[in-house]
């Protein structure tokens, strides 16, 4: 059995007038993330980690922000397509370990729904999707509530 590890990172700016999508679910918040798609930083970081683990470039290569078909797209669709892309090389997801950095909204209560949603999209068990949330203690762009970032490590196997 071949085992590979990947790392992903994404960040998006918080702005008024957009829905906030994180981990495949919509959260109530006065701001949302700015991007070509729904700007779900967690899903984007997962896609990058999976593609990197399979040595298949990155999310921007497969889903460019210059392509009209990805304008305002639900990032769960990108994740499902990423699973199909890595499967062309015989890979499947072993597990995901993710950290979301956001000052607000508080995410603890939403993590189980994120785990269930992402596990369903990837066709894996919820126990294989670890999501943690942290703040930056009011430091930097996250602390000033200018944006949200996500860091993800994945394990894939053949």
Residue 9 backbone dihedrals phi, psi, to 5 degrees: -145, 140
Q: Is 142 annotated as a binding residue?
A: no
Q: Is 62 annotated as a binding residue?
A: no
Q: Is 29 annotated as a binding residue?
A: no
Q: Is 134 annotated as a binding residue?
A: yes
Q: Is 149 annotated as a binding residue?
A: no
Q: Is 141 annotated as a binding residue?
A: yes
Q: Is 136 annotated as a binding residue?
A: yes
Q: Is 37 annotated as a binding residue?
A: yes
HEC string for the chain: CCEEEEEEEEEEEEEECCCEEECCEEECCCEEECCCCCCCHHHHHHHHHHHHHCCCCCHHHHCCCCCHHHCCCCHHHHHHHHHHHHHCCCCEEEEEEEEEECCCCCCHHHHHHHHHHHHHHHCCCHHHEEEEEECCCCCHHHHCCCEEEEEEEEEEEC
Structure tokens at 101: 């950095």
Q: Is 158 annotated as a binding residue?
A: no
- Round to whole Å and give the CA distance between 27 and 127: 22
Q: Is 82 annotated as a binding residue?
A: no
Q: Is 135 annotated as a binding residue?
A: yes
Q: Is 93 annotated as a binding residue?
A: no
Q: Is 65 annotated as a binding residue?
A: no
Could you list the residues known to form a binding site, using ranges.
Answer: 10-12, 36-37, 44, 58-60, 134-137, 141, 144
Could you list the residues known to form a binding site for a divalent metal cation, using ranges.
Answer: 10, 12, 44
């Amino acid at each position: 059995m071949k085992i590979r590890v990947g790392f992903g990172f994404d960040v998006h700016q918080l702005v008024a007038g957009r829905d906030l999508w994180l981990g495949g679910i919509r959260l109530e918040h006065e701001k949302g993330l700015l991007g070509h798609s729904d700007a779900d930083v967690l899903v984007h970081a997962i896609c990058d980690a999976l593609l990197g683990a399979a040595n298949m470039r990155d999310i921007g290569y497969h889903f460019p922000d210059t392509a009209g078909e990805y304008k305002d797209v639900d990032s769960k669709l990108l994740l499902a397509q990423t699973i199909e892309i890595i499967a062309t090389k015989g890979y499947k997801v072993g597990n995901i370990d993710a950290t979301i950095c956001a000052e607000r909204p508080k995410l603890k209560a939403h993590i189980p729904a994120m785990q269930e949603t992402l596990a369903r999209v990837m066709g894996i068990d919820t126990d294989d999707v670890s999501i943690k949330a942290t703040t930056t203690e009011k430091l930097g762009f996250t602390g000033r509530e200018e944006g949200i970032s996500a860091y993800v490590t994945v394990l894939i196997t053949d």
